């Protein structure tokens, strides 16, 4: 790998760091977002740290076979962030790519442009495989990875380290030299304008601030009784579910949504959509409502909205919903939307103390959606 010192591509300039970048390096590295997701940065980050990076840290990356570029505005040469290659494995022609961007430059596509520019330059100079690792809660970096052509490959257990020495999992996003250019297509696209609505109910992606209402909903005995196994979730599990909702959506694992009342914005419940079999285009949905909103048709409206999005932008060809046989209220919701009873699978689901639960499956095809 023989990288150029200066790369001009994708609307950004990648160049060596300079002493004049000191204040901008501090601005980027002392920012709370950078501090949160880049645990290798000193905390607090000072001008002394920036000078060390410019004089010693960045040059050492080059000496070690990697690279450390300043991302600069081509028009002004002002520093916007940094991008580099770490942990090179020459025998496998692979390396890890990473970046940070100053607060003033975020939301402008700078991180994506720099990641694409360096990736393409690395491939042109002999690298074959690049990895980009993100924390599960860092949806912004995961969007950069997808936009830069990196595909989600899986979980790297305990690949990251907190400042206190503790370990945490990382998500691996990978791009190969032979991969097609351009963004990676997602299994679960974003909602149009971030919302689905029929002007009575609205669905939006679950967010970290929804943890309290989600814990209240999913801890209710009647909600717990209709899941498998029927064990209430911990508050910690619900909080993490809400913090990682964007990530599980981006990786294609599951789209988790909050059901709200359109008029007041009050939360009414939750629902979710996931692929059960990508190759055949089959997906599955689930839903639950808070007691105050039951009996108003809100569950039916939410399922209808979710099914319409599933058959449309999400490209699903067949939807299923599994229920316990005794949950007649849920059966009525599904039937009002057009789902048909399809099969009773005996003992399919885990119950308590080693018992098994039956699963009554309903299915819906696009032409049957009411």
Mean pLDDT confidence for 115-131: 97
Compute the average pLDDT of residues 31-48: 88
**Is 147 buried (19+), middle (13-18) or exposed (0-12) by CB count in 10 A?**
middle
Can you give 306-342 as a three-state secondary structure string? HHHHHHCCCCCCEEEEEECCCCHHHHHHHHHHCCEEE
The mean pLDDT value for 347-363 works out to 92
Instruction: Please list the residues that pair with 285 across neighbouring strands.
Output: 273
Q: Which of the following CATH numbers is that of domain 192-368: 3.60.20.10, 3.40.630.30, 2.60.40.1120, 1.10.3720.10? A: 3.40.630.30
pLDDT at residue 104 above 70? yes
pLDDT of res. 228? 85
- Reduced to 3 states, what is the DSSP secondary structure of residue 64? coil
Give the pLDDT confidence of 251-306 residue by residue, as tens digits.
999 999 999 999 999 999 999 999 999 999 999 999 999 999 999 999 999 999 99
Q: Would the pLDDT of 212 be above 90?
A: yes
Token pair 């990697």 in the structure block, residue: 66
**pLDDT at residue 39, as a whole number:** 77
pLDDT in tens, 146-205: 999 999 999 999 998 887 778 999 999 999 999 998 999 999 999 999 999 999 999 999
Contact 135, 171 (CB under 8 A): yes
Residue 1 has pLDDT above 80, yes or no: no
Instruction: Evaluate if residue 217 carries a pLDDT over 80.
Output: yes
Q: What is the mean pLDDT of residues 128-139?
A: 96
Given a cut of 80, whether residue 242 has pLDDT beyond it is: yes
Q: Tell me, what's the pLDDT at 116?
A: 98
Q: What percent of the chain has a predicted confidence (pLDDT) above 70?
A: 100
What is the spatial distance between Cα 340 and Cα 259, in angstroms, rounded to a whole number?
24
> How confident is the model at residue 295, as a pLDDT?
93
Q: Is the separation of the CB atoms in 357 and 350 below 8 Å?
A: yes
Rounded CA gap, 181 and 120, in Å? 9
Class of domain 7-176: alpha beta
Find the mean pLDDT for residues 106-125.
97
Helices (H), 161-294: 211-218, 221-224, 235-243, 245-250
Distance, in Å, from the CA atom of 227 to the CA atom of 288, rounded to the nearest integer, reads 10
Instruction: For residue 288, give Cα distances in angstroms to 133, 217, 252, 273.
Output: 34, 8, 21, 13
pLDDT of residue 33: 87
The mean predicted confidence, pLDDT, of the chain is 95
The CA-to-CA distance between both ends of the chain, in Å, stands at 58
Q: Report the distance separating Cα 47 and Cα 369, nearest Å.
A: 61
Within 139-203, residue ranges assigned H as helices are: 139-147
Which sequence spans correspond to the domains of the chain?
A: 7-176, 192-368
Q: What is the pLDDT of residue 227?
A: 86
pLDDT for res 129: 98
pTM for the whole structure: 0.92
Structure tokens, 59: 């040059």
């Amino acid at each position: 790998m023989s990288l150029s010192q200066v790369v001009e591509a994708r609307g950004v300039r990648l160049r060596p760091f300079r002493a004049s970048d000191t204040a901008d390096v501090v601005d980027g590295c002392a920012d709370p977002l950078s501090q949160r997701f880049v645990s290798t940065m000193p905390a607090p980050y000072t001008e002394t740290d920036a000078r060390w990076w410019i004089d010693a840290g960045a040059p050492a990356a080059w000496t070690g076979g990697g690279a450390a570029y300043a991302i600069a505005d081509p028009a002004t040469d002002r520093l916007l962030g940094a991008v580099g290659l770490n942990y090179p494995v020459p025998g496998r022609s692979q390396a890890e790519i990473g970046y940070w961007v100053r607060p003033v430059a975020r939301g402008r596509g700078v991180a994506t442009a720099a990641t694409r520019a360096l990736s393409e330059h690395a491939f042109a100079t002999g690298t074959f495989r690049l990895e980009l690792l993100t924390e599960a809660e860092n949806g912004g970096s995961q969007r950069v990875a997808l936009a830069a052509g990196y595909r989600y490959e899986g979980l790297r257990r305990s690949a990251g380290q907190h400042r206190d020495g503790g370990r945490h999992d990382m998500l691996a996003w990978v791009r190969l030299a032979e991969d097609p250019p351009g963004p990676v297509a997602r299994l679960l696209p974003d909602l149009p304008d971030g919302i689905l609505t029929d002007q009575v109910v609205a669905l939006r992606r679950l967010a970290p601030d929804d943890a309290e209402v989600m814990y209240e909903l999913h801890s209710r005995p009647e909600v717990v009784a209709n899941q498998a196994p029927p064990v209430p979730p911990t508050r910690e599990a619900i909080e993490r579910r809400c913090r990682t909702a964007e990530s599980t959506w981006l990786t294609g694992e599951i789209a988790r949504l909050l059901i709200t009342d359109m008029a007041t914005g009050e939360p009414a419940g939750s629902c979710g959509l996931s692929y059960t079999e990508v190759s055949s285009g089959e997906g599955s949905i689930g839903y639950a409502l808070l007691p105050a909103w039951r009996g108003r048709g809100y569950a039916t409206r939410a399922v209808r909205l979710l099914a319409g999005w599933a058959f449309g932008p999400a490209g699903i060809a067949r939807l299923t919903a599994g229920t316990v046989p005794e949950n007649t209220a849920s059966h009525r919701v599904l039937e009002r939307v057009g789902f048909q009873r399809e099969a009773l699978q005996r003992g399919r689901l885990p119950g308590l103390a080693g018992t098994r639960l039956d699963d009554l499956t309903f299915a819906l095809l696009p032409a049957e959606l009411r």
